[in-house]
A and B are shown apart, each in its own frame.
Chain A
Amino acid sequence: QKEVEQNSGPLSVPEGAIASLNCTYSDRVSQSFFWYRQYSGKSPELIMSIYSNGDKEDGRFTAQLNKASQYVSLLIRDSQPSDSATYLCAVVGGNTPLVFGKGTRLSVIA
């Protein structure tokens, strides 16, 4: 049974700070890793995808992957109140589609 673990939060950070979201996964053959943002009542929206070890940056977002530790993280720099949402970590491996973590609720306080 593939598992993806996230701290459910809520994670509260002040506006302008760095928010750090973490995710661990159980299946060593996992190959694709995604972060989705989901606002209440809306559908998941892709923030970042990462496939190889290291960092990947896109604007204020940086995804970090460490396959040896089975760990993936998302950093949000200069956090804004509009970043307040649930962040879903999702992992693909083998021939099974996306497995989602339970999500971390982020609250950015103005």
Chain B
Amino acid sequence: DTEVTQTPKHLVMGMTNKKSLKCEQHMGHRAMYWYKQKAKKPPELMFVYSYEKLSINESVPSRFSPECPNSSLLNLHLHALQPEDSALYLCASSASGGAFLDTQYFGPGTRLTVL
């Protein structure tokens, strides 16, 4: 089973709100990823966790704060977002950390709207 789950499916938030996106996988994968995707654009990498440690941060603004509580869970904490942050947020996982050569499996995404 190659399932990555994400909650919520949809989220509407104001610019002063604090919210969190959640991602879970039970495939024993050791690398987990957050991507942001705007309409008609490819996914843009935000963060990579390898063996539960943050290994890549693609210069993402501090209003996005990732957290990896354990090897199966990945959170993205959101605070003071801007309307331009509205997008589809995708979580993915792959089997091994380190070289990231393995297939990434994507969750269904969270559609975020910032008002």
Contacts and interface: CB of A to CB of B under 8 A. Distances in A.
Interface of A: 31-32, 34, 36, 41-46, 49, 88, 92, 95-98, 100-103
- Interface range on chain B: under 10, 10 to 19, 20 to 34, or 35 or more? 20 to 34
B109 A34 contact: no
**Nearest 4 A/B pairs, CB to CB:** A100-B42, A97-B100, A43-B106, A32-B101
B56 to A, nearest CB: 7
Given A34-B104, A36-B106, A100-B43, 8 more contacts: A41-B111, A43-B88, A92-B100, A95-B98, A96-B100, A97-B45, A97-B56, A97-B104
Nearest to A95: B99
A4 to B, nearest CB: 9
A31 B90 CA distance: 24
Interface of B: 33, 41-43, 45, 48, 56, 88, 90, 98-109, 111
Which applies to chain B's interface (DSSP): helix, strand, loop or mixed? loop
A34 B48 contact: no
Contacts of A31: 101
Contacts of A36: 106
A7 B42 CA distance: 13
Contact of A103 (B42, B88, B109): B42
A102 B103 contact: no
A25 B33 CA distance: 22
Nearest to B108: A43
B107 A43 contact: yes
A44 B33 CA distance: 14
